[in-house]
Every structure is written in C-alpha cells, then in structure tokens.
A and B are shown apart, each in its own frame.
Chain A
Amino acid sequence: MKPAPFRYADPGTLDEALAVLSAEGEGAKVLAGGQSLLPLLSMRLAAPTTLVDINRVPGLDSVEVTGNGVTVGALVRHTALLADDAAARVQPLLARATANVAHPAIRNRGTTVGSIAHADPSGEMTSVLALTDGAVTVATPSGPRTVEWRDLFVGPLETSLHGPAVVTSAFFPALPDRSGTAFAEVARRKGDYAVCGAGVVVTLDEDRRIARVRASYVSVGLTPEVHDLTEAVAGKPVDSADWAAAGALARTLVDPDTDIHASADYRRLLVGVLTERTLAEAAAEAAAKVTGE
C-alpha cells in the first residue's frame, strides 16, 4: 500500500496553483488535508500524475463570519471550524456536524472544503452545505466563480468542477431567524462514517407555529439532497407538532442504498427515527428563540 509515482508542486499563490494545474493537465489533483486522497493513493485506487499541494497558499485558512453566514477557507481544518464559536453562533450546524467527522487526529488535517470537494455522500459537510443552501467559490484560470451546492454535486465522489480549479472557500448561509437546528447520526463505531445521519432546520413563525422544516441526510442517496418536510407539520404549534409524521414523510422521500453495514430498509428506518429526534430538538431550540424575542 504505497502510492504510485506522481509529480508534486506546492505553489505559494493561487495563481501559481492554477498555472501548475493547467500545465499538468487532466491528471493533476489538488491536495488539501489529504485525509481522503492519501488513502486512495496508497491503495492505488487513484493515481494522479501530479499533486498540487495548496497548503502553502496564503489566505485560505480563515473562517469569516458575518451576519449573512460563514465563509470557510479551503485550508480551514475540521478542528478549527469545530472550535469556532462565532461560526457556531451564526450557523450552529457547522460545529454540530463537524463533531461527527472522524476522530481528532483526522480532523487536525482534514479540511471542510476538502470534504465538500471530495463530494462523498457519506461525509457530513456535503449535507450541511446542501441543507444551509450554501455554495462554493472556485478559482479558475478565467477567474473566480460561485457554484451553488445544487450545481456542484454530480454523483458519489464526483463534482461538476472540471479542468484547473481550486475551491477557495465554502459559504454557509446563516441560520434564519426563529430557527433551530440539530444534527444526529448513527455510526457503527464512534467516529466512523455514518450509517445514517440527519441534519435539520426548523423555522417558526411569530406565533410559534411551524413555518418550514428541512432535512438533509448523510449516507443516504448518491448525492446530498434537501427534503422539505414542512407539509407534515405546517402551521402546527411547535409544542404539539407531530414529529413522527415528519419522520414518516421523510422515509417516503429518501432512496437509500444497501451496503455491508446497513440495508436500505434499515437506513430508511433511521431516516425516520433521526428525523423525528432531531426535529424535536431543533424545534425546541427555535421555540426558545421565539420566546426570547
């Protein structure tokens, strides 16, 4: 289990990175935290001709927090995002989901943006990008562009980005007013990729009635999706909403797969259970905010 030969560059600027990516062509790959890429290289399941290591590119390692949302730079490690209280205040899903990503030593190296660029449907952060209606900023030789999450994820481990491109940041919009979130997952071992994970956002109206309910799942389906579950509980007072009904609705909307760790049916069961549980939690959080207003 040793990587096949490749060429290596560690550009000092974004422009240089793009230049090397352009020059090296199709077989070149960006190396960020390496926590997904290196196992693939060692198992020789991937054999890029060139690795373009972006770790020395300045300016990519900050988390910017505004009222609108959180911008996470390409070199922000999971550990840093997990510890960022300002980010957690604006978009609590970030820390809640990141806490479920791997173990600390992996989080010390792996990046949030790398997770998203890797487009693994069993990664937590792809779902969070979707659920928050986020987008990434991509540097290309023809200039930066923004790609909405819907346009980004094409298939498992596959994005719409082609040719020389570096994702420089991911933007996670702020949690709307009168909203609460929760994230939960079931994994075989603590720290493993989830058998099934669920992130939810519940938004109330001024009368503490359910206005909007959205959920996104981990390890369910080929690409992250967002499911609107509002119809199951729309208009219900937050304290008497039937979260089980929302869970039941969710079960009908998802299309999970069977693998060696779980059957599709079991995943569907978990979608229902985790939806019900997270919604109750998120709703309580939202309700507390409305009461506090």
Chain B
Amino acid sequence: MTTKLFGEPVRRREDARLIIGKGRYLDDIGSNALAAAFVRSPHAHARITGIDVEAALDVEGLVAIYTYDDLTGPMAEPLPVLIPHPQLTQPRTGHALARDVVRHVGEAIVMVVATDRYVAEDAAERIVVTYEELPVVVGVDAAHEAKAAVHPDVPDNVAARHRQETGDVEPVLAASPRTLSFTQYIERSASMPMEGRGVHAKWDTDDRSLRVYTSTQASTSVRAAIAAKLDLSLDKVEVIAPDVGGGFGVKIVHPWPEELLVPMAAIALGAEVKWAEDRREHFISSAHERQQRQDITVGYDDEGRITALDVHVLHDNGAYTPYGIIVPIITATQLVGPYVIPVYRVQVDSVYTNTVIVTPYRGAGRPQACYAMERTMDRIADELGLDRAVVRERNLIQPDQFPYDHQLTFQDGRPVIYDSGDYPGLMVKLKELVGWDEAEALRSEAAARGKHLGIGMALYVEGTGPGPYEGGHVQVLGSGKVLVSTGLTSQGQGHETAFAQIVASELGVPIEDIEVTTGDTRRFGYAVGTFASRAAVMSGNAIALAARGVREKALRIAADVLEVDASDLEIDEGLVQVKGTPGASIPLRTVAVLSNPLRYAFDEAAKQATQFTTHDDSKPPVAEGDAPGLEHRDYYSPLRSTFASGAHAAIVEIDPATWEIDIVKYAVVHDCGNVVNPMIVEGQVHGGVAQGVGGALYERMVYDKDGQLQNASYMDFLMPYSSEVPDVVIDHQQTPSPLNPLGIKGAGEAGVIPGTAAIASAIEDAVGRRIAAMPISPTELYDLVRSPDSERTAASSRRAENGVLA
C-alpha cells in the first residue's frame, strides 16, 4: 500500500535545485538582455516642469529612453484600479511613467534601456528633471487634517470610507455597564522579500509573440494586464513566474509599471529587456503596509463580557489605490477575532499620503485588526482587575456555535461565517505551553535579577482561502510520469511538494513520478493568485479534484481491460489492480497509453494503443463524451473563506537601565485544519513569527515630514537577523474545515498576525505603562516610562501597592 503522503513531513522536492545554486530566479534569466533603469522622483510631491535627456545621449551603450510622452494608447492611461469597490469612491492610480505630478519619492519618471545595468544607471544619472515642489502629506493624522491634498480633486484625502455594522451600536454602548475608549497607532513595515521585483521580456519578432518572466504572485493576471495595456491578443502573451525569492504580498500587486514598460521596450526594440529591481528601488517604489490610527470604544459588563464595539480606523493607503481597499476591509472584518461581539460597528477611512502605496503584506490588515481587538481585551482586564486570559475566555465563541455568522462581509464579498474551530481549546494549550499561570513567579525571579518581566497573549482568527477559484490539471503520461499544474504561483511555500503529496495520495502514484508546475500561463491559463493563505486550500483542492478525475478515468479504462468492475479496482504505487487479487493488474502508464487511441506508433509504449492493436469495434475509439488522454482538469471554487485560528504568547524581559527588550519565550498554538505537510506548516509559522517580532520591535518605515524615507536600506530598516528572533515553541490543534474536500485551512500568514499585539501586551505588563503605539524601540520605551503624561496600567498600580517593582 502506498504510504499515505498527505499529512506527512515529506522533504521538499524544490530543495534539490535550490541548495546547489540551480534555482532560476528572475535575474538569472537572460544574461544578455538589455537592462532597464529608472529615473525616480526625489520629491514626495511635485509637478514635473521639464525633463532634459540631452546629457544622457552620449553615454556609450545607451539604447533607449522613454518618458510619459512615449506612451501611447492604453499605456498612456492611468494604471488599473485592480480591485474596485463601491465604497472606494475616489480611486486614484498613477501612470506607468509619471505624467505631470509625482506623488511619492520613488515614482518612476523616465525609463532608460542600455547594454547593461551599470550603463543604464550612468545614463539615468545624467537625465535632468526639474520640479516645482508641492505641499507634502505624511502620516494619517496629517492626511486627516487635510491642510494639503495628495490629489487636488480629493481635498479631504479620503479615498474610501469603508463601513460595516451588525446592529445599532450607540444605544447598546449607552446601556453598557461599562465603557472605555482609547486611541492607538501602528506603523509601516513592508514585505521586503530577499529578492526584489523583476521583469524579463522577450519579443519574438517572427511569431509576434511575447514571453515575460516576472517575479510575481499572479502570473495569469499579469498576462491579461500586459495584453490589455500593450494591445496584444492574449494568446500572443505568455507570463511565467520563475523561482520567486519571497513575496509576502508585495508581488501580488500588478501590473507594476515595470511589468508593462519592460515588455513595451522589448517589443519596440525587438530585443530582450530586463529590469531587476535593486534594494533602494524596492524601498521607495514598491509597497508598504500597516500604518493605522485606531480609535476604539468598547462596552462591557462587570464580568468583562463585551456588549458592543465601535472602531474607527484611519488607514494610510499611500499615494494611490491600485489594490483597492482590501487591507481596510480585512482589518474591519477580522477585528472581531475569536470573540462574540454582540454589536459591532467599524469605519475605516482610507486616506492618501505622499508615500509609497500600501498593499497587502503578509497578514494584510489582520495584524492591525488583532492589535485593536486584543489590546481592547487587555484594557478591559486591566480596568476590571481580571486575568487577561479570563476576560478573553469569557468572550470566546464556543465550539458548539459553529458555523458562526458575524454578520459581516469579507474581502471576497462573501459573508464572514466561521466554518469551524475550537478557541477555548487554543487557550488551554497556549496557557499550558507558555506557562501563563506561573508568570507571577517568573516576574519575581526576574525582578530579583533587576529585570522587568512581562507576559502577553493574543488570539486571532484568519479568513483564508478566499475565492473566486483556482484550477488544477493532472495528466498521466505514457512514461508513467504525472504532470500536475496549477495557475497560481509559488514563493517558497513548497507547493511543488505539497501538491505532489496530494496527487500521490489521491492517485496512488509514487511521488517521484510527479512533476508540479505553478505560475506558468503556458501550462495553466486560469488562476487568481497566491495571497491570503489560499494556495493549499484553493489549488490543493482543485488539484485533488483533478487527480480524482484522472483516477476515475483510469479505473474505468482499466476495468475494461481487466474485465472487472471499476469499484473492484485500486491504484497503488502506480499500478491499477484488482483488490485482493495480486497479479490482476495493469500499470497506470499503460492505462495512459490506452487512453489515447493512436494511428502512429512512435515508440514501444505507443504501439499498444495503435488502431490495429485495440479491438472492441462495437464502440468508437474515443467514446462519446470522453476525450483522449489520461488527464483531467478541475476547479475548486469555495462558497466562502475558511477560517484558521491561533493564539500566541510572549514573555519579555526589559533591562530598566537601557530599556532593551528581550523576548525570552514565544509560544504559538495554531489550527489550520487538516495539514498537508506539517514540516512546511511549521516552517511557515517560524517565518511568520520572525516577521511578527520584526514588526513589533524593529521594522518601521521612517518618513520625515518632507516625505523622504529616512531608512531606505537594510542598514537602517531593521529586519531581524537570527540574533533578534526568539526560540519559538509550537503546539497544534486541528479542526478540519467542512467547506472543502481536503478539510484544510490556510497557514501562510498566521505566524505574523498576533506578534504586535502579544508583544505590546507583554511590554505593557512588564513596565506598567500603556503601550499605544507600535512598533516600539528602546529609545521610545525610555521616552514612555519617563514621560509624566504616560498612563500607568491599573495592574501596575496594584502591584506597586503590594510593593512590587513596575
């Protein structure tokens, strides 16, 4: 019997090439291609008054220079608003090359193409752009004040007001035994994959067709965008995502200006053209996420049970809104977390600023949502003098309440109905894992060493695997090789392995015979993309369905040959056999050969399927309704998202002399339903936690008031090295999703979501001061603890009365 590979920690198949340096990332392609470089705006907001390329023209190796004036047809139009929404009343996008006004530092103005990147940069450096500077808006508060406007026809800087309510909040708040209100902030970070963006385009002058490689999370849609913008027939454009060196959200945005301009130049020049983004470009011209101001009012009773929640968020969407209001919607709808919130009202005002655009970064609005909800729980506990875990427990949705309808509308336009989960179960495990009930003993022990110790927790529910659909194709070749493809892309999640595991299990073939291709429009043209922890759920299920289709057909053909009933057959190790009758079998590869009636024999295997060897002349060679070949294509389109969940806790120690913050323990309990490959899922958790820690303590985009990004380098944007990432202990829970055939939920983003909330809670617990702005660094913590205005927690006052430090 084939060992069931589903659920096993199968070692990754993609690693074989990646560990010997044989991966194929974007910049590894086309070593002789011409190189593009860009002149980008040094100003956050300015009108372009002139572009003088004269000095660049005598740079040896210069091939072409493009400005807005060189763009024609759809290319001269603004970039698409990818995800329109009725509440996005003032969508604005830039042009592939700036037309008249630039709205953030880094916006592309001129594209230079030259023999190599060095030369392209030489030429770009000599191009003189003159500007008339305009007033700059930085930060949500400035945007809200609207002393200046980012877009002149949007004087209040509000792109969208996203509003949802599940009832009439105000009377419930008024009637609540208790209420509290507070304001908090969260800053910008960014996906920051180790490989930047990049595009390679090759125009086949004879065939008049275009092949584009791009480091993207959505190759099918990039293809459609290129065809539309460059006036090409879709069948003349193929787009391939090669090995992608990390995405984390930023590569879901498309088409990037460069994804259109590089192909445009390739066509115009009849040459291969490539652009490999450098790190500085990535900082100032890709995308960031996370800045919000949150004003929260909550009603609750003396037991800490929430009666009503009213949240107003100011969300910084940067200079443009190509990705619509997905992040605001996710914040709005995921805020409620694992809790029963009897009445909920949320309004997210998405505002323009003169900064890099804001689009999903792993978590995509959920870390902010979790921060809002979980910090609310902490405040309620503090006001009532209750254990923070107890307050949470009292508000949890109980296991018998599923499916649980929050009466909200999610990012996919579908209702937020939690499919399954066991939130009290998560709590039990988390408290045990982190040692929640022993925290006071740890605190005293640390105090004896002169350290402030604190503990915090945060829970989340994550809508994963949103539609509309993904597809899968499975084909068995006469050689026995099984080709599997799906349209969505991979950026390190191990899809080649996970999808192969699914097919091996469903079809009964050795995993070694399976070859998986993702993100290649030549192989699979219909797809949505890799985001929102959806790959395993969406493509995983589609591929499972496709494999089941192949299995069914294989059994049907084999039943014919073996003259048995299909239900008496099984497939194991690539052999179709009669159950319980050893020897009565036919290899799957032979079935594949027989599935395709042939006229011509080109090899030994094919001989078996030619017209004089196949008999039964009572039927046409290809039965009605059937098709040649042992293959099947299928799609999975879910009714709605499936909801994964988890709980994190952090213990921090703070040095009261230097205010350095050390995470001494980090505990994770997570539940993503059935697991295809636990090794891969655990890897996703570890990676997510590291980003969560980065977002809580180290990473932030520091803009000055002029809109200059002060830390556009790895030297100053502090992504954690291993020395900054704590050891993580993990426990698991599995509540399968009833919504899909495999019972799985997404796992890609979970690790990052509760980091900021849990760590803020732990720091607050350690120092006894309210933490209302994250991330927090030692210098800020120092400012906070010595500021006479900073608010003490009630818990710390109580502790002080009992003579305990902090």
Contact = CB atoms under 8 A, between A and B. Distances in A.
Interface of A: 1-5, 43-44, 186, 188-193, 195, 260-263, 265-266, 269-270, 273
B84 to A, nearest CB: 36
A256 B117 CA distance: 40
B638 interface: no
Q: What does DSSP make chain A's interface, helix, strand, loop or mixed? A: loop
A263 B783 contact: yes
Contact of A260 (B280, B711, B783): B711
Nearest to A103: B721
Contacts of B122: 4-5
A189 B153 CA distance: 44
A191 B723 contact: yes
A186 B660 contact: yes
B716 interface: yes
Contacts of B782: 263, 265-266, 269
Contact of B658 (A43, A191, A263, A273): A273
Contacts of B636: none
Contacts of A191: 721, 723
**Closest 10 CB pairs between A and B?**
A190-B723, A266-B779, A1-B278, A2-B118, A262-B779, A273-B657, A260-B702, A266-B782, A260-B710, A263-B779
A269 B658 contact: yes
B716 A4 contact: no
Name which of B125, B657, B721, B779 has the most chain A CB atoms within 10 A of its CB.
B779
Given A43-B280, A270-B658, A2 B121 contact: yes
A195 B777 CA distance: 12
Contacts of A269: 658, 782
Contacts of A261: 716, 777, 779
Nearest to B117: A2
Contact of A189 (B710, B711, B718): B718
Nearest to B700: A260
B720 interface: yes
Given A2-B121, A261-B777, A266-B779, A189 B716 contact: no
Nearest to A186: B658
Contacts of A44: 121, 125
B778 interface: yes
Contacts of B280: 1, 43
Nearest to B722: A190
Given A266-B778, A269-B658, A270-B658, A190 B724 contact: yes
B557 to A, nearest CB: 58
Contacts of B658: 186, 269-270, 273
Given A188-B718, A273-B658, 11 more contacts: A2-B121, A4-B125, A186-B658, A190-B721, A191-B723, A195-B778, A260-B711, A261-B716, A265-B782, A266-B778, A273-B657
A188 B278 contact: no
Contacts of A188: 698, 718, 777
A262 B702 CA distance: 13
B523 interface: no
B431 interface: no
A1 B713 CA distance: 11
Interface of B: 117-118, 121-122, 125, 278-280, 657-660, 698, 702, 710-711, 713, 715-716, 718, 720-721, 723-724, 777-779, 782-783
Contacts of A193: 715
Contacts of A4: 121-122, 125
Contact of B716 (A43, A260, A266, A270): A260
A108 B782 CA distance: 36
Contacts of B710: 260
A189 B118 contact: no
A266 B783 CA distance: 8
A52 to B, nearest CB: 21
B121 A189 contact: no
B450 to A, nearest CB: 12
Nearest to A3: B118
A234 B118 CA distance: 60
A191 B118 CA distance: 30
B783 A189 contact: no
A274 to B, nearest CB: 8
A257 to B, nearest CB: 12
A211 B122 CA distance: 59
Nearest to B702: A260
A44 B716 CA distance: 18
18 contacts: A2-B117, A4-B122, A186-B658, A186-B660, A189-B720, A189-B724, A191-B721, A192-B715, A192-B718, A261-B716, A261-B779, A263-B779, A263-B783, A265-B783, A266-B778, A266-B779, A269-B658, A270-B658
A262 B783 CA distance: 10
A109 to B, nearest CB: 16
B37 to A, nearest CB: 9
Contacts of A2: 117-118, 121
A273 B783 CA distance: 16
A119 B249 CA distance: 40
Contacts of A262: 777-779
Nearest to B716: A260
Nearest to A263: B779
Contacts of A189: 698, 718, 720-721, 723-724
A263 B782 CA distance: 10
Contacts of A266: 659, 778-779, 782-783
A103 to B, nearest CB: 8
A266 B718 CA distance: 18
Contacts of A265: 782-783
A7 to B, nearest CB: 15
B170 to A, nearest CB: 42
B165 to A, nearest CB: 40
Nearest to A269: B782
Name which of A43, A265, A266 has the most chain B CB atoms within 10 A of its CB.
A266
A138 to B, nearest CB: 29
A265 B778 CA distance: 12
Nearest to A190: B723
Contacts of B721: 189-191
Contacts of B777: 188, 261-262
B139 to A, nearest CB: 15
A261 B700 CA distance: 11
Contacts of B702: 260
Contacts of B724: 189-190
A209 B621 CA distance: 105
B700 to A, nearest CB: 9
B357 to A, nearest CB: 22
A195 B778 CA distance: 10
Given A3-B118, A260-B710, A186 B125 contact: no
